[in-house]
Amino acid sequence: MRKNTKYIHAGVHPDPSTGAIMTPIFQTSTFVQASPGDHQGYEYARTGNPTRNALENAIAELEGAKYGLCFGSGLAAMDTALKMLKSGDEVIASDDLYGGSYRILTKVFSHYGIKSHFVDMSDMSKVKEKINSSTAMLWIETPTNPLLKLVDIQAITDIGKEHKLINVVDNTFASPHLQTPMALGADIVLHSATKYLGGHSDVVLGALVCDDADLAEKLYFLQNSCGAVCGPMDSFLVLRGLKTLHVRIDRACENAMKIAHFLKDHKDVSRVLYPGLEDNPYHALAVEQMTGFGGMISFDLADESMESAHKVVSNTKIWALAESLGGVESLIGHPASMTHGAIPREERMAAGLMDGTIRLSVGIEDVEDLIHDLDMAILSLKK
């Protein structure tokens, strides 16, 4: 099956009892047994639910992995992956991480004796410098949020493998449509399915996939033991979202490229971060590692103040000022005061996330409307 066919058919089969083409929402907590242990594969819905299992199989198949597990959120998925570690272990993570991922490492797992280092993963020597006998996991995000830096997945997972580390790639920004980290050496791929996989801003859900049976067994054990599973209705919504993943992302990429060029030519904009631009430092790697440049753009106004950024993000009419990304509707955000508010200012500035950086999640509306709306909001600074 080719990729564009898989989005429609992966993981799902007509319901055997009725022939329903869409996977039913199995809204049940338990499953009747004929005699103790005599059941049809399901006992209790934390352990397994057919709607969730269909989604788990679909996401695994799209990522080119054998095993899939779904959770109540992307962070619940991350929590589960991190629980494979023990006190004393260390994690090396990207220095330009999703704010919530940074928070769970520094404010939650730090209390359980798990130490995290944050490094610029575009520089392999910085990663190697931090590896010691306690290092157990590499936490890789690419493209990063919100600076759209790319990490060379093959190069970094090679280092991880050499040191027997668990390589985890957060593939939320790219989605399996643009990038499949399992093929580039990842041991585990994480998704906040809340974003592109769901795609309609109506559900919060997370996923992990992996290929190794031992790793899968550990993750299933944690999924069942800690219980951060997603419900059947939410699983259904993401299953439905997956069916249009390719169409939505292709349009978002197309729109984003036009918007990136518009911003680049705008005299009131000083910096545009989009890997699709030929002068972007990650352009060559993006061409090699991804099949498209994605729907996320960040930019700085020439006037770098927080006030101006606040004014622009508050003055758009089509772009909604909101956290999150990856939905059909376009969103605008101010990372320093929203998604990345938890990161200390000096640390964030050192990583290149400025007071005035604005982030766009490009949706699938008419691109001329999106450009006009941004133009008007930037013009509002002059009033």
Catalytic residue, from 83, 149, 195, 251: name it: 195
Q: Is 7 a catalytic residue?
A: no
Closer to ligand PLP by CB, 290 or 367: give it: 290
Catalytic residue, from 46, 103, 218, 240: name it: 46
Q: Which of residues 205-234 bind ligand PLP (CB under 6 A)?
A: 206
Interaction pattern, residues 105-144, with ligand PLP; x per rule: CB under 6 A: ------------------------------------x---
Min dist CB 199 to ligand PLP, Å, is 13
Choosing from 6, 177, 195, 251, the residue that interacts with ligand PLP (CB under 6 A) is 195
Burial class of residue 2 in the structure, from the number of CB atoms within 10 Å of its CB (0-12 exposed, 13-18 middle, 19+ buried): exposed
340 contacts ligand PLP (rule: CB under 6 A)? no
Closer to ligand PLP by CB, 232 or 315: give it: 232
Min dist CB 293 to ligand PLP, Å, is 16
Choosing from 7, 67, 98, 102, the residue that interacts with ligand PLP (CB under 6 A) is 98
> In sequence order, what are the residues at sequence separation of 6 or more whose Cβ sits closer than 8 angstroms to the Cβ of residue 101?
75, 78, 93, 139, 141, 170
Q: Is 46 a catalytic residue?
A: yes
Mapped onto helix, strand or coil, the DSSP state of residue 203 is: coil
* Spatial contact of 316 and 177, defined as CB atoms under 8 Å apart: no
> In sequence order, what are the residues at sequence separation of 6 or more whose Cβ sits closer than 8 angstroms to the Cβ of residue 245?
7, 62, 175, 176, 177, 196, 197, 199
100 contacts ligand PLP (rule: CB under 6 A)? yes
For 134-197, the three-class secondary structure string (H helix, E strand, C coil) is CEEEEEEECCCCCCCCCCCHHHHHHHHHHCCCEEEEECCCCHHHHCCHHHHCCCEEEEECCCCC
Closer to ligand PLP by CB, 206 or 327: give it: 206
Catalytic residue, from 7, 98, 102, 274: name it: 98
- Does residue 38 come out as left (phi exceeding 0), alpha (psi in the -120 to 50 range) or beta? beta
192 contacts ligand PLP (rule: CB under 6 A)? yes
Structure tokens at 206: 């997370």
Q: Which residue is nearest to ligand PLP (CB)?
A: 74
* Spatial contact of 187 and 167, defined as CB atoms under 8 Å apart: yes
Q: Is 195 a catalytic residue?
A: yes
Closer to ligand PLP by CB, 94 or 315: give it: 94
Choosing from 55, 75, 148, 188, the residue that interacts with ligand PLP (CB under 6 A) is 75
> How far is residue 174 from each of residues 65, 148, 163, 240, 258, measured CA to CA in Å?
16, 10, 27, 19, 18
Residues labelled as active-site residues: 46, 98, 170, 195
For ligand PLP, the binding residues (CB under 6 A) are 73-75, 98, 100-101, 141, 145, 170, 172-173, 192, 194-195, 204, 206
